[in-house]
Structures are given as C-alpha cells and as structure tokens.
C-alpha cells in the first residue's frame, strides 16, 4: 500500500471516529481509476479530502500537505477550474476549426467582455486560497 493511500485511509478512520458522517468510496478518495483529464472527478476528490481534513483537525489543510501527503499529484490550478466551469456553455464548432488557436481562448477573446476571464481567474484563485492554507 503506497503512503498516500495509507494516509487517506487513516484520515477516513479519524473522520469516522470524530463523528464524521457520510459514506465515501475508498476508490474515489484515493483516485483509483480516475482518468487524468476528468476534471470534475479530480475536483471532487480534492474537495472531499479538504473537507475531511478540516473536520478531523479543525484547521485548514496546507497546499503542500494536500499535494504531497494525500493527493500524490499537483492540485488542479485556477485556470483549469475556470475553463471547467465555463465548459458547460458549449463553444460553437466553428471556433475549433482553426487548429492554430485554442478554441476556448479564441472564443473568450472575441465573444466576452474585456477582462472577464481575468476576473473569473482571480475569483477562482481567492476561492482556492480560502479552501486551504498556502504553505
């Protein structure tokens, strides 16, 4: 058993011992079988571990602890989170024709209010910062 799997199992045992409620799949917590580009599942895994850690220790988890001890991968960054949130708006196919440009960036550049992406990015960064302690 790898160290991050053992750490997650220990965290879940402590979570249940401190009165934590809810049944969580061990495979979801350790990220087993997660395809790397399934952003929604990766975000769910991060939020689950952050919430369990906060319940067990009554302090926010640090960025390095989350990545090195529990996730064994880098945390999803703010840019990917914003793109994931906005992907529900289904960008028209004509923006994907030009292979020289990223379809999302091209669409956002010519079809949104100037600076809107930046505001979304910095708002997402604040949300991420409030989720845990940077350390």
* Domain match, 69 and 100 both: no
Percent above pLDDT 70 for the chain: 76
State the average pLDDT over residues 78-82.
79
Which DSSP letter does residue 67 get? Answer: I
What's the pLDDT at 77? 87
pLDDT at 80 over 60: yes
Q: Within this chain, do residues 91 and 106 fall inside the same structural domain, yes or no? A: yes
Cα angle value 41/71/43 (rounded, 5°): 25
**8 Å CB contact between 67 and 111:** no
CA atoms within 13 Å, Cβ hemisphere of 95: 13
Q: Note whether 9 and 64 are same-domain residues.
A: yes
Give the domain extent around 13: 1-75
Between CA 76 and CA 44 the distance in angstroms is 11
Residues 9 and 69 in one domain: yes
The reply to whether 69 and 6 lie within a common domain is yes
Task: Give the 3-state DSSP-derived string for 10-79, with helices as H, strands as E and coil as C.
Answer: HHHHHHHHCCCCCCCCHHHHHCCCCCCCCHHHHHHHHHHHHHHHHHHHCCCCEHHHHHHHHHCCCCCCHH
DSSP state of 2: -
Which pLDDT score, from 0 to 100, does residue 22 have?
75
Do 135 and 104 share a structural domain? yes
| The pLDDT of residue 34 is above 70 | yes
Q: 61 pLDDT band (50/70/90 cuts)?
A: very high
Window from 43-52, 56-65, 111-120, 121-130 with minimum mean pLDDT? 111-120
The answer, as to whether pTM is greater than 0.95, is: no
pLDDT in tens, 109-119: 766 666 666 67
Q: Is the Cβ–Cβ distance between 104 and 85 less than 8 Å?
A: no
What's the maximum distance between 2 C-alpha atoms anywhere in the chain?
A: 55
| Number of domains within the chain | 2
Of 56, 75, 94, which residue constitutes the final position of a domain? 75
Q: Which residue has the higher pLDDT, 75 or 83?
A: 75
pLDDT of 82 higher than 80: no
């Amino acid at each position: 058993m790898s160290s991050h799997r053992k750490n997650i199992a220990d965290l879940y045992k402590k979570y249940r011992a401190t009165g934590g409620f809810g049944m969580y799949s061990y495979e979801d917590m350790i990220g087993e079988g997660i395809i790397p580009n399934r952003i929604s599942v990766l975000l769910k895994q991060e939020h689950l571990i952050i919430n369990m850690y906060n319940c067990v220790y009554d302090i926010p988890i640090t960025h390095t602890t989350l990545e090195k001890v529990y996730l064994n991968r880098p945390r999803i960054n703010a840019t990917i989170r914003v793109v994931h949130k906005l992907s529900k708006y289904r960008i028209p196919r004509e923006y994907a024709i030009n292979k020289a440009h990223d379809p999302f960036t091209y669409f956002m550049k010519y079809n949104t209010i100037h600076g809107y992406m930046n505001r979304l990015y910095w708002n997402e960064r604040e949300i991420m910062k409030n989720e845990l302690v940077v350390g």
